Amino acid sequence: MFTKQRRWTTIAALLWAVALVALLLRAALHPARPNSLATYLTGGEAWLHAQPLYTNWRGFVYPPVVGWFFSLLAHLPLALAAVSWHALAAGVFLLGLVALLRSGVFHRIPPEARGIVAIAVLPLSIGNMDNAQANPLVAGLMMLSVAATQSGAWTLAAVAIGIAATFKIYPVALALLLILVRPRQLSWRILLVLGLLAAQPYLVQNPQYVSGQYHAWLASRLADDRFHYPMKDAPLDLWYLLVRICALPLSERLYTATQCLAGAALAVLVLVRIHRKVATQDILASLYLLVSVWMLLLGPATENQTYIILAPAACLLTVEAFSRPGLPLVRVFAATGFSLLILAVARNSLMPHLKSPGFMAIQPVGALLLIPAILLKDFAPASPQ
């Protein structure tokens, strides 16, 4: 007879094992199918031959150190490169999720419900992994950095968030908030990691070429005006809801100010909770949940596939809400937001050509509904431990 804890954990392990075996077999048998890896390997090949990395506005968009990383995979046979990348991204994602669940950050989720979190995350993430996106790797590193901060593993926390911020810019927001929680331990470590990652390409490639690619990368990012993307490519964020769908007369400058003010509000909330001597694990839990929502609704580059960043947060929030008594409103908001994210995955998998603006708005609406759930749960009385 399994205990309740072992039952859900065992079911989660079996489901994930089946999913990962299928994922890796598909990568090995069909390595040339269209997905994000092709773009990444193109960047790696360009790096190997000292060619321009940034030739297409929808092509390789990562900094030069990431081009160097994918040049390592470009050396491999395509099938081996595909399996290695899928295994790395999925493995780091699961490592981060397990580390976060075991760290005590979400201590209000009972041990027997941790397997439910892992099960709930699966449908929200496996499609992104199959598409060979970098998002699962980034999401896993973010979770690992929060877990390491709670455990006092400062160097691991800095390395994890530093690599995440190197792949995608927006994890810098999480890095800054973690520094607020542990300034003395994390500030210099994160800066050192970011500096080392930025300098690394100069050790393995012609310095003049590397400097030129950094300049081209910055120029391409500054020229990437997502406010004016065509509707089919528009970021699925708060701007999409307010301006594209609701047609509100919101200026780009005002929206940018809103992005900054919302980020500043997160920092103020963290500082207030630190001043009130709230337990670090509870600060980290709210910090992780809120910054995950901020990245999707107000971050610089939110696409359909980027919502895997929010998947663990949505599942953790929902399971916690149903694990604690006296949280009816939290349950309504969390469950509705989670259900909309599941609905978006179903649309993407079963009806990929159904891309009307209303259907595409499902994800940002789901993210928006998680905000009151996060804020309300923090004011609920703690259940007995």
Looking at residue 4, what is its pLDDT? 62
Choose the weakest-confidence range: 111-115, 322-326, 330-334, 356-360: 356-360
Residue 327 resides in a domain: yes
Contact 63, 214 (CB under 8 A): yes
Q: Please report which confidence band the pLDDT of residue 2 belongs to, taking 50, 70 and 90 as the band edges.
A: low
What is the domain extent for residue 242? 4-377
What total number of domains does the chain contain?
A: 1
> What would the pLDDT profile of 23-76 be if each residue is shown by its tens digit?
999 999 999 998 999 999 999 999 999 999 998 767 899 999 999 999 999 999
| Ordered DSSP codes for 111-134 | GGGHHHHHHHHHHHHHHHHHTT-S
Report yes or no on 50 lying in a domain.
yes
Q: pLDDT tens digits for 145-180?
A: 999 999 999 999 999 999 999 999 999 999 999 999
What pLDDT band is residue 351 in, cutting at 50, 70 and 90? confident
Per DSSP, the residues of 155-169 read HHHHHHHHHHHHH-S
Say if 67 falls within a structural domain: yes
**pTM, 2 dp:** 0.94
Residue pLDDT, tens place only, 119-131 = 999 999 999 999 9
Q: Is 178 exposed, middle or buried (0-12, 13-18, 19+ CB in 10 A)?
A: buried
The predicted structure's pLDDT at residue 384: 38
Give, in order, the Cα–Cα distances in Å from 209 to each of 167, 199, 323. 20, 13, 55
Give the whole-angstrom CA distance, residue 265 versus residue 242.
Answer: 20
Establish if 305 belongs to a structural domain.
yes
In a domain, 259, yes or no: yes
In-domain check, residue 383? no
Q: How confident is the prediction for the chain on average, in pLDDT? A: 92
Confidence band of 138 (pLDDT split at 50, 70, 90): very high
Give the pLDDT of residue 385: 34
Q: Look-up: residue for tokens 């990437």?
A: 224
Q: What is the per-residue pLDDT for 305?
A: 85
Alpha helix ranges (H) inside the chain: 4-29, 36-48, 64-74, 78-103, 114-130, 135-151, 154-167, 171-181, 183-199, 201-204, 207-222, 238-239, 252-275, 280-298, 311-323, 328-350, 357-360, 362-377
The token duo for 71 is: 């040049």
Q: pLDDT tier at 1 (50, 70, 90 boundaries)?
A: very low
Helix (H, G, I), strand (E, B) or coil at 138: helix
In a domain, residue 290? The reply is yes
- Asked if residues 133 and 141 have their Cβ atoms less than 8 Å apart, the reply is no
Supply 344's token pair.
Answer: 């978006």
In a domain, 272, yes or no: yes
CA distance 370 to 330: 9
Give the tokens for residue 167. 């792949």
What pLDDT score was predicted for residue 256?
93
